Amino acid sequence: MPPSESAHESSNSLHQTSLPCDWETEVDPPAGIAVIGGGATGIEAALYARFLGYEVSVFERFRVGNSLQRWGDLPLHATWRQLASTLGLAALEAQGTLTITDLDQVPSCAEFLEQYLLPVAKTDLLYHNIHIQSEVQSLSRLGLFADASVPAADKAELEFRLLIQSKQRGPYSQIVDLVLDCSGLAGRRGMAPGGGHAAGEMQMLQRDPQEAERRWSSGKLKSKELNALGGQHAVLYGSGLEACQNAWNWRQAHGNSADSKLTWLFPRRRGIPAAQKLPWQLLRELGLPADFDLEAPSTPISDSLAQQLGTWDSQLRQLREGQDRSLVMMEVWGLESIRSLETGSWQIEVQSQLAETLALECDHIINTAPRCSDWSFASPIAVNAASVEGFTSEPHYYVLGSKTQSLFPSAAASMGEQIQNGREQIRLALAAIGGRSELNLYDTVRPQSY
């Protein structure tokens, strides 16, 4: 199976670029590797490392493929041939669980999860190495403080200590030699202008969990959460995929209800026309320029992506044309403040113009602001970007997958592209760890079925 075009173009980057390290990257198996995150990149990285003979532990805060589960039927805009690695297909074939027949088909997020990622995670190579509902809360180096001035070569000799909060085991620590951070975009930006936090937003997030669940949501709503909004005034903040899906699903569920209301707040962005048909946040999440014009595309797109954009364009047009007292759409710069009222509702102050605010009262707030990387667990160590994607200034600490966007802005891409890019980052990192620049298991390990 040939690699995808993007992977092929960068396949020689390790040969063309000297490694950005002043320490010895090679670590012989069976050294211990911690993989943080059980998404597409985390599972693939763990599989690659296991094939090379390393001891691997995967720590996933929720469940394997949690983001893919959330997106459901959304197409990945890439074929199985581009998304499923030869390594993963060979592992499924050996396990007798390979069910993918047409490699040129474009799967949805749910199909990729059910037919590839979960079966790979359940193979003999990985099953006992994956720890779900296990959050990494702290990452440090043994015998080294954050302000210690230690040469990188000496620091590379020190092991990592992870503190894990497991739902099953409770808190415990684990010592490893290397860390592959595949935790992705685990956080969420605030709702104030520019992505900061509104006054009162942090206190709202720290409220009683049961009360927060009743009055506050984030991300794509489940059916149960959506139905609970009947008879309430909800404020939806954001303009990405999650926001668009929530607005459309709310209209289907409550659009004909006289006592239900949704106020959808679109965060504005400088330089983007207010009348632009497709929201800039939606376009960025799909790996497109923020000012992309569907009628006059400046960037070539696949047929599946063009179809998906056409669907969103049609749905948003219906929502705009169908605005009434139950659904109001408003462009804003962000939220200035959030305050809890004695009546049990929220009062929010919205910055509608640069020097103008308005007050809204609502029962429920839904935050779908862009996701961002979470570095809080790694605060004791200094992580800076190196000259090769995936490599950092911290010896034996690699950042792979969508989280590289925070270190390498040019790495921003759609979810399908992120999966492909993550696989190439894995190859480069494990080639350095294995001490062989020519090492590429995707060329040497192949399934017999194709």
| Cβ atoms 154, 138 nearer than 8 A | no
Domains 5-186+373-444 and 190-370 share a fold: yes
Q: Among 1-15, 39-53, 137-151, 200-214, which is the least confidently predicted range?
A: 1-15
- pLDDT tens for 238-258 read 988 889 999 999 999 998 888
The confidence band for 8, taking pLDDT boundaries of 50, 70 and 90, is very low
> Which ranges in 17-77 belong to alpha helices (H)?
40-51, 66-71
Between CA 186 and CA 205 the distance in angstroms is 15
Spatial CB neighbours of 209, under 8 Å, sequence gap ≥ 6: none
Whole-prediction pTM value?
0.79
> What pLDDT does residue 16 have?
38
| Strand ranges across the sheet with 130-131 | 130-131, 55-59, 32-36, 178-181, 397-399
Closest CA to 353 of 279, 237, 446, 274: 274
CATH class of 190-370: alpha beta
The confidence band for 207, taking pLDDT boundaries of 50, 70 and 90, is low
Characterize the bridge pairing of strands 160-166 and 170-176: antiparallel
| Residue 1: pLDDT over 60 | no
- pLDDT tens for 428-439 read 999 999 998 888
| Residue 230: pLDDT over 60 | yes
* Domain 5-186+373-444, CATH homologous superfamily name and number: FAD/NAD(P)-binding domain (3.50.50.60)
Between CA 415 and CA 394 the distance in angstroms is 27
Between CA 229 and CA 368 the distance in angstroms is 16
**Does residue 361 sit in helix, strand or coil?**
strand
Q: Which residue has the higher pLDDT, 172 or 271?
A: 172
Residue type for position 302: S
> What pLDDT does residue 353 have?
76
> What pLDDT does residue 409 have?
57
Residue type for position 231: G
Between CA 53 and CA 89 the distance in angstroms is 19
Compute CA 364 distance to the chain's CA centroid, rounded to the nearest angstrom: 25
Percent of the chain with pLDDT over 70: 87
> What pLDDT does residue 450 have?
75
**Does residue 395 sit in helix, strand or coil?**
coil
Q: How far is CA 202 from CA 172, 205, 206, 219, in A?
A: 28, 5, 6, 17
Between CA 349 and CA 338 the distance in angstroms is 7
How is residue 114 annotated by DSSP?
I
Percent of the chain with pLDDT over 90: 44
> What pLDDT does residue 90 have?
95
Q: How far is CA 228 from CA 55, 122, 363, in A?
A: 45, 35, 11
Rounded to the nearest 10 degrees, the angle between the axes of helix 303-321 and helix 241-254 is 50
Per the prediction, the chain carries an average pLDDT of: 84
| Stretch 275-292: mean pLDDT | 76
- pLDDT tens for 350-396 read 998 767 888 999 999 999 988 777 777 877 676 666 657 788 888 99
The confidence band for 274, taking pLDDT boundaries of 50, 70 and 90, is low
CB count in 10 Å sphere of residue 153: 12
> What pLDDT does residue 167 have?
93
The two three-digit tokens of residue 430, written as one number:
């494990």
The two three-digit tokens of residue 377, written as one number:
């667990």
| All structural domains of the chain with their residue ranges | 5-186+373-444, 190-370
The two three-digit tokens of residue 136, written as one number:
């990494």
How is residue 115 annotated by DSSP?
I
- pLDDT tens for 321-357 read 877 778 898 889 999 999 888 888 899 999 987 678 8
**Does residue 2 sit in helix, strand or coil?**
coil
Closest CA to 137 of 177, 186, 178: 186
| Strand ranges across the sheet with 356-362 | 334-340, 346-353, 356-362
| Cβ atoms 420, 7 nearer than 8 A | yes
> What pLDDT does residue 217 have?
86
185 — phi, psi (to 5°)? -95, 85
> What pLDDT does residue 206 have?
63
> What pLDDT does residue 34 have?
98
**Does residue 373 sit in helix, strand or coil?**
coil
